[in-house]
């Protein structure tokens, strides 16, 4: 039966838990139609849950060409993230279905998190907290101690791979901490006026930086870019931070480089398969911090994401969709 033009649109969220685990209400989205929110959706349940939806919202739940073909009511897809590779945007375009993403919501949160990782590598605050609570300071004959080298960032070189919104925000913080910033990007636009800033090739950046921060999108050209060959060119005192995408790094090569002392440490918020598999070599690698893809997840960033998602739906319903990634 055809849907009446006056009916409120049916909005289905396939995997809403990470956006709203309980502190980021769906009220603004819910006010735009009849809303159904699923915390998670297994592959075999996608069709059943989305079949009658006018609007489908997804973060990591895939909408393949085959799935899109079986959703007769679908009129709009909203991606609850910046990356939209989980949706077959070409199949949607062929059906005249706009797909919108949220291009900017967590820039400052991710940049801040990069430095949370870097400062933990530099000082190992968590390790020292645990050692004090285990009684080591109580038993220490001196007024202080440290179990790892303490690293001052002032005067060191921060190398940033990917100098878009997040990369530039990382650079701003590095500059404020007294670091020299160099950057590698396929599009070299608007160089900042920081003293000693320079563009570099990826190879030069890895060779000269004291800290390498990956802040680029994942593409077919850079998948596995950080491999044994590139790691071998880094300073033995250098740190690698990855808050971008896990497949940028050959994880076995990084684990072996850490075990061999090729570099001083690494911190990753992303891995090649998420959730992380128990046999991921980085879990057992020395001097390696692994966190669960949470750099984006500040309350403030998630609220911006929710607001922009509601705005995307509102714009579509008004006939002027915004943030469309598959224009006709």
Is there a single domain that holds both residue 131 and residue 276? Answer: yes
Mean pLDDT (the chain) is 97
Residue 247 within a domain: yes
The answer to whether 245 is a known catalytic residue is yes
Q: Are residues 98 and 203 in the same domain?
A: no
Burial 39-69 (b: 16+ CB within 10 A, else e): eebeeeebeebbeebbbbbbbbbebeeebbe
> 175 near 156, Cβ under 8 Å?
no
CB neighbour list of residue 244: distance below 8 Å, 6 or more residues apart: 162, 214, 215, 216, 217, 218, 270
DSSP string computed for 207-224: HH-SEEEE-----TTTTT
Catalytic site residue 189? no
Q: Token pair 């990826």 is at which residue?
A: 202
Residues 235 and 117 both lie in one domain: yes
Determine the pLDDT at residue 3. Answer: 58
The encoded tokens of residue 167 equal 């990369």
Range of the domain at 52: 10-105+299-317
For residue 7, name the pLDDT band (cuts at 50, 70, 90): confident
Same domain, 191 and 95: no
List all residues 6 or more positions away from 327 whose beta carbon is below 8 Å from its beta carbon: 93, 98
Pair (215, 80) in one structural domain? no
Identify the active-site residue in 108, 175, 180, 293: 293
Give a yes or no: residue 136 inside a domain: yes
Yes or no: say if 216 and 248 are a contact pair by the CB < 8 Å rule: yes
pLDDT, tens only, 250-269: 999 999 999 999 999 999 99
Are 227 and 243 in the same domain?
Answer: yes
Say if 17 falls within a structural domain: yes
Q: What is the largest CA-CA distance in the chain?
A: 81
**Is residue 17 among the annotated active site residues?**
no
Determine the Cα–Cα distance for residues 113 and 236; give it in Å rounded to an integer.
Answer: 24
Examine the domain organization and report whether 166 and 226 are in the same domain.
yes
Q: How far apart are CA 220 and CA 197, in angstroms?
A: 28
Which runs of E-coded beta strand occur in 139-194? 157-161, 180-184
Does some domain include residue 241? Answer: yes
Q: What does the pLDDT look like over 198-228, one tens digit per residue?
A: 999 999 999 999 999 999 999 999 999 999 9
Sheet of 198-199, strands arranged across: 198-199, 180-184, 157-161, 211-214, 239-242, 265-268, 288-290
The residues with which 63 forms a beta bridge, in sequence order, are 87
Beta-carbon contacts of residue 162 (< 8 Å; ≥ 6 apart): 184, 185, 214, 215, 216, 217, 244
For residue 57, the 8-state DSSP code is E
Question: CB of 306 within 8 A of CB of 283?
Answer: no
Domain annotation covers residue 183: yes
- Domain membership of residue 70 (yes or no) is yes
Containing 240, the helix (H) or strand (E) segment is strand 239-242
In a domain, 4, yes or no: no
- Residue identified by tokens 């400052």 is 108
Q: Tell me, yes or no, whether 123 and 270 share the same domain.
A: yes
- Residues 49-70 have pLDDT tens digits of 999 999 999 999 999 999 999 9
Report pLDDT digits (tens) over 82-115: 999 999 999 999 999 999 999 999 999 999 999 9
* Residue tagged active-site, from 245, 251, 302, 304: 245
Using pLDDT thresholds of 50, 70 and 90, give the confidence band for residue 195: very high
Location of structure tokens 């080298």:
149
- CATH number of 128's domain: 3.40.50.720
pLDDT at 90: 98
Q: Which pTM value belongs to this model?
A: 0.94
- Could you read off the pLDDT of 106-160 as tens digits, one per residue? 999 999 999 999 999 999 999 999 999 999 999 999 999 999 999 999 999 999 9
State the pLDDT at residue 1: 45
The reply to whether 91 falls in a domain is yes
219 and 129 assigned to the same domain: yes
Residues 61 and 82 in one domain: yes
pLDDT at 2: 53
pLDDT of residue 105: 97
Among 7, 136, 203, 274, the active-site one is: 274
Say yes or no: 97 and 169 in one domain. Answer: no
Residue 93's CB: how many other CB atoms inside 10 A? 16
Residue 240's φ and ψ, nearest 5 degrees, are -120, 130
Identify whether residues 48 and 133 lie together within a single domain: no
Q: Is residue 45 over pLDDT 70? A: yes
Total tally of structural domains belonging to the chain: 2
């Amino acid at each position: 039966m055809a849907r009446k033009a006056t009916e409120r649109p049916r909005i289905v969220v396939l995997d809403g838990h990470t956006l709203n685990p309980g502190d980021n209400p769906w009220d603004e989205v819910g006010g735009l139609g009849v809303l159904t929110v699923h915390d998670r959706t297994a592959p075999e349940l996608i069709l059943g849950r989305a079949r009658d939806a006018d609007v489908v919202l997804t973060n990591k739940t895939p909408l393949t060409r085959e799935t899109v073909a079986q959703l007769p009511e679908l009129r709009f897809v909203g991606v609850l993230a910046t990356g939209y590779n989980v949706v077959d945007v070409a199949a949607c375009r062929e059906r005249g279905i706009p797909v919108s993403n949220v291009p900017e919501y967590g820039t400052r949160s991710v940049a801040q998190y990069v430095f949370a990782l870097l400062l933990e590598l530099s000082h190992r605050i968590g390790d020292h907290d645990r050692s004090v609570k285990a009684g080591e300071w109580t038993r220490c004959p001196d007024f202080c101690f440290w179990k790892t080298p303490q690293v001052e960032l002032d005067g060191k070189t921060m190398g940033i791979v990917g100098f878009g919104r997040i990369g530039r925000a990382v650079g701003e913080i590095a500059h404020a901490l007294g670091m020299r910033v160099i950057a590698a990007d396929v599009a070299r636009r608007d160089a900042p006026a920081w003293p000693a800033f320079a563009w570099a090739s990826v190879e030069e950046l890895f060779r000269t930086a004291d800290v390498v921060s990956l802040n680029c999108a994942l593409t077919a050209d850079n998948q596995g870019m950080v491999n044994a060959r590139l790691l071998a060119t880094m300073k033995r005192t250098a740190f690698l931070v990855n808050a971008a995408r896990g497949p940028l790094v050959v994880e076995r090569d990084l684990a072996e480089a850490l075990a061999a002392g090729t570099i001083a440490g690494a911190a990753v918020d992303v891995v090649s398969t998420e959730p992380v598999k128990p046999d991921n070599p980085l879990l057992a690698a020395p001097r390696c911090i692994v966190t669960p893809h949470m750099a984006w997840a500040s309350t403030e960033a998630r609220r911006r994401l929710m607001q922009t998602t509601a705005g995307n739906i509102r714009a579509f319903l008004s006939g002027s969709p915004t943030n469309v990634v598959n224009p006709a």
